[in-house]
Chain A
Amino acid sequence: MRTLDQLKPKESGIIAALSGAGSTQQRLLEMGVSDGAEVEVLRFAPMGDPMEIYVRGFHLTLRKSEAALVQLEG
């Protein structure tokens, strides 16, 4: 299954689920990174990590390690 960290800039996908359980997942969920939401990758930082995404109408920065928890549909 594809995860968010595998997308390239300008690519987008629909979130299917978040793997694992813990405060990182809860924080992502609260920020709108939850199933059904569309995410678009905007860019990666100069040193390749973290990444900036567009989700539910705003811009969010997260590391690739967090993005790897986000499973995408299809």
Chain B
Amino acid sequence: MATTLALVGNPNVGKTAVFNALTGLSATTGNYAGVTVSRTHGTVHLGEIKVELADLPGTYSLAARSPDEVIVADVLMDQRDDEVPITGIIIVVDASNLERNLYFLSQLIELKKPFIVALNMMDIADRRGIEINHEALSKALGAPVVPVCAHKRQGFDTLRKAILSLHMGDLAAPEFLGCDFPESQKFAVGELTKALRKNEGILGRSIPGPEISRILIDAGGYAEKRILHKLGADFAETLAICRAHAVENGLTLPAQEAKARYGWVKEILATSVTRPNPRRRSRSEGIDNILTHKVFGTLFFVTIMLVVFQSIYSWAGPVMDLVDGGVGALGGLIGTVLPEGILKSLLVDGAIAGVGSVLIFLPQILLLSLFISLLEDCGYMARAAFLMDRLLGWCGLSGQSFIPMLSSFACAIPGIMATRTIFDRRDRFTTILVAPLMSCSARLPVYIIMIGAFVPQTKLFGGLLTLPAITLLVMYGLGVAVAVPVAWILKKTIFRGEKPPLILEMPSYKMPQAKTVFRKVYREGKDFLSRAGTLIFAVTVVVWALAYFPRSATIAESFDAQRAEVSNAGLDEEVLAERIARLDNLEEGEYLRNSVLGKAGHLIEPVFRPMGWDWRIATATIASFPAREIIVATLGTLFNMGADENEESEGLIATLQGATWPDGRPLFNIPVALSIMVFFALCAQCGATLITIKRETGQWRWPVLAFTYMTVLAYVGAIVTYQVSSLILPAGGLG
């Protein structure tokens, strides 16, 4: 029978680094069924023997509240059908912070499974003058304790040997339960156990002992809810009686538990750890004196955000030009090889132009996800939550929502998934519903194109910043500015209730791990490309087809006749070529106007007129509802088909600058560019995000709500933007 070992630990103890060091590149990631907690498995190679290792989410306790914690508790107690039995546990603990780490360990002992302790961050403990006798600790815990230093890869030979004996079944399960609870509580657990046994038929399983303790202690917790859901109000009464029997000395049950566990931890530490008194100030504290300082900390935070946005805008430029040149050259090459006709049009105008114009934004996506991973990995994110909590408090949220929101700037999907760490359901759902308002990397293409084409390169603050960079920052700020009142309204209406607490560990600062960071960046890039390669490609081809067909024979005949007329007029060669080219263009434009897409676009144009849009912008926008980055490809397809041949090579920006209304007025000006950007900033044009919301909330009504409110906001916002900026800005623009 397949078995697996579980890797567990508190958050911020370097568990991922230990997992990476043990499993190398073998990790596979998926999801547990029905929930979106990621299931990461890897293989540890011990000579000939391969050991399966499950990397469970970081947790402080088995008292489960969030989906992550529920999974950890259920997997460790073998209560999940989609996970093989856990035969042994490797717990990673932070040597510099043993007290709280051993609290979790005291709960693990009660699972009665063999375990080993990986004592990580020994170097930090050393620096703080904390001396740990790991042999004494091992004796006190009744399990192997292996000092390691994950980021320096130290201690892993010994850890591997310990894992081998754990896998081979050489280690016995702990014979004793770690800490001793009052007799009253033991009696209550016994009574509750009997009561649950009687109901095993209805429950469909026998409840493991550690879970019974959780049902007893965690009033309102997940374990209790799951039982009461099946057994109903009668059992709630039994449970209340058991609880009343369990307390001693007037403490609450959780207080009784904490007292017993921390008492036990104190005894263990007394035998094996000496700490300097008074404690040594850590390096992190010194750094925090500046980074969370009232003035410098705030300045630093704003500076970091500015650097991030200025660099995505300017650093990615050269790489983007390279991609652009490559795609253009490929299109040109195929264009010269293939004869005129449907295949050439499909490949050059449809496939290459479409995928190419999405591919070009990969550098920026990688850059932004690099910044976010770095900030996460070094420990700054918790400081950002500390600095931002009060600000988010104004819209009824907590600093915990900050990380999911910031992640949503790269992509709302990982952002929405990051809300799993928010304990409070109302806070979590509110965050999920406003997260898609943050300007994700897929909106960047729209901003870049519009800003690049229509916002002048005016230098500000002595050349430090440019107007395009400021405009970009404003677009990013817009999502936040709208999210605040939306969240506030949600918290006052659908999700009203008591304000949830903020109880957040501030981990020690550490050097980001290249491997951890690059894995995240790689996944982000891969996800984006696989979407560009599939969904976006498919939509591109469909849009191309809608714009290409039907090819009316009347138009062809009429233009053939005109071309023949021009050819016979006896003009010199250069003028003739020019006239023919112009006719070709007009013909393409005529085809486009009469295509399925063109007709549909014209039909809906009046709806978009108040925003200053013509049917082409409207059509491109409609076509990009499945995934907003499609807009660029669609604009490329729509405007290129009727464009001047010579301009094609100069890229989309030049094409858009040259686009006109039928009467010859320029189609785009600053108000139109702004209204397009505002529409895209606020609209929920992302099928994947909506599906993620459904998965995370379990109900369709939430993605429907997100889609509806965002689309309405986008439409109204774009109209207001166009109308107001048309009044303010001079007709000729700022240039």
The answer to the question of B103 belonging to the interface, with a C-beta cut-off of 8 Å to chain A, is yes
Q: How far is the CA of A21 from the CA of B297 in the complex (A)?
A: 35
User: Contacts of A18 on B, CB cut-off 8 Å?
Assistant: 255
Contact B389 A25 (CB under 8 A): no
User: Contacts of A23 on B, CB cut-off 8 Å?
Assistant: 65, 220-221, 423
With A29-B257, A62-B501 as contacts: A57 and B506 at CB distance below 8 Å: no
Contact B399 A61 (CB under 8 A): yes
| Contact among B279, B284, B390 with A49 in the assembled complex (CB-CB below 8 Å) | B390
| Contact among B100, B297, B389 with A32 in the assembled complex (CB-CB below 8 Å) | B100
Contact A60 B262 (CB under 8 A): no
Contact B100 A58 (CB under 8 A): yes
Q: How far is the CA of A59 from the CA of B284 in the complex (A)?
A: 10
| Contact among A17, A35, A58, A66 with B501 in the assembled complex (CB-CB below 8 Å) | A66
| Contact among A17, A30, A57, A61 with B504 in the assembled complex (CB-CB below 8 Å) | A61
Q: How far is the CA of A21 from the CA of B247 in the complex (A)?
A: 13
Contact A57 B98 (CB under 8 A): yes
Tell which of B142-150, B332-340, B379-387 binds the partner: B379-387
Give B424's nearest chain A residue, CB to CB: A23
Contact A35 B399 (CB under 8 A): no
Q: How far is the CA of A21 from the CA of B61 in the complex (A)?
A: 18
State how many angstroms separate the Cβ of A40 from the closest Cβ of chain B.
9
Give B273's nearest chain A residue, CB to CB: A57
User: Contacts of B499 on A, CB cut-off 8 Å?
Assistant: 65
State how many angstroms separate the Cβ of B122 from the closest Cβ of chain A.
15
User: Contacts of B259 on A, CB cut-off 8 Å?
Assistant: 34-35
The prevalent SS among residues of A at the interface is: mixed
User: Contacts of B507 on A, CB cut-off 8 Å?
Assistant: 59
User: Contacts of B423 on A, CB cut-off 8 Å?
Assistant: 23, 27
| Contact among B294, B386, B393 with A61 in the assembled complex (CB-CB below 8 Å) | B386
Number of A residues contacting the other chain (C-beta, 8 Å)? 37
| Contact among B221, B254, B255, B387 with A35 in the assembled complex (CB-CB below 8 Å) | B255
Q: How large is the interface on B (under 10, 10 to 19, 20 to 34, 35 or more residues)?
A: 35 or more
User: Contacts of B97 on A, CB cut-off 8 Å?
Assistant: 56-58
Contact B98 A30 (CB under 8 A): no
State how many angstroms separate the Cβ of B446 from the closest Cβ of chain A.
34
User: Contacts of A45 on B, CB cut-off 8 Å?
Assistant: 292, 386-387, 389-390
The answer to the question of A7 belonging to the interface, with a C-beta cut-off of 8 Å to chain B, is no
Interface residues of A in 16-72 (CB under 8 A from B): 17-18, 21-32, 34-37, 42-43, 45-50, 52, 56-63, 65-66
User: Contacts of A24 on B, CB cut-off 8 Å?
Assistant: 500-501, 503
Interface residues of B in 268-289 (CB under 8 A from A): 275, 279, 284-285, 288
The answer to the question of B625 belonging to the interface, with a C-beta cut-off of 8 Å to chain A, is no
| Contact among A21, A47, A63 with B502 in the assembled complex (CB-CB below 8 Å) | A63
Give B130's nearest chain A residue, CB to CB: A57
Q: Give the A-B contact count at a CB cut-off of 8 A.
A: 130
With A29-B255, A32-B103 as contacts: A59 and B294 at CB distance below 8 Å: no
User: Contacts of B221 on A, CB cut-off 8 Å?
Assistant: 23
Contact B390 A66 (CB under 8 A): no
Query: Which of A24, A26, A34 has most B Cβ within 10 Å?
Result: A26
Contact A46 B99 (CB under 8 A): no
With A35-B259, A61-B502 as contacts: A29 and B254 at CB distance below 8 Å: yes
| Contact among A31, A48, A50, A66 with B100 in the assembled complex (CB-CB below 8 Å) | A31
Contact A31 B505 (CB under 8 A): yes
With A32-B99, A58-B100 as contacts: A25 and B254 at CB distance below 8 Å: yes
Q: How far is the CA of A58 from the CA of B504 in the complex (A)?
A: 11
Contact B501 A21 (CB under 8 A): no
State how many angstroms separate the Cβ of B12 from the closest Cβ of chain A.
9
User: Contacts of B61 on A, CB cut-off 8 Å?
Assistant: 30
User: Contacts of A49 on B, CB cut-off 8 Å?
Assistant: 389-390, 393
With A21-B219, A22-B220 as contacts: A30 and B103 at CB distance below 8 Å: yes
Known interface pairs A25-B255, A42-B285, A62-B504; 18 further A-B residue pairs with C-beta atoms within 8 A, sorted by A's residue number: A21-B219, A24-B501, A24-B503, A29-B255, A31-B505, A32-B100, A34-B258, A35-B259, A37-B262, A46-B292, A46-B387, A59-B284, A60-B505, A60-B506, A61-B506, A62-B501, A63-B502, A65-B501
29 A-B pairs with CB atoms under 8 Å apart are A17-B255, A18-B255, A23-B221, A24-B500, A25-B254, A28-B501, A34-B255, A34-B259, A35-B255, A37-B262, A42-B285, A45-B389, A46-B292, A46-B294, A46-B297, A47-B391, A49-B390, A50-B386, A57-B96, A57-B98, A58-B97, A58-B506, A59-B285, A60-B506, A61-B386, A61-B399, A61-B505, A66-B502, A66-B503
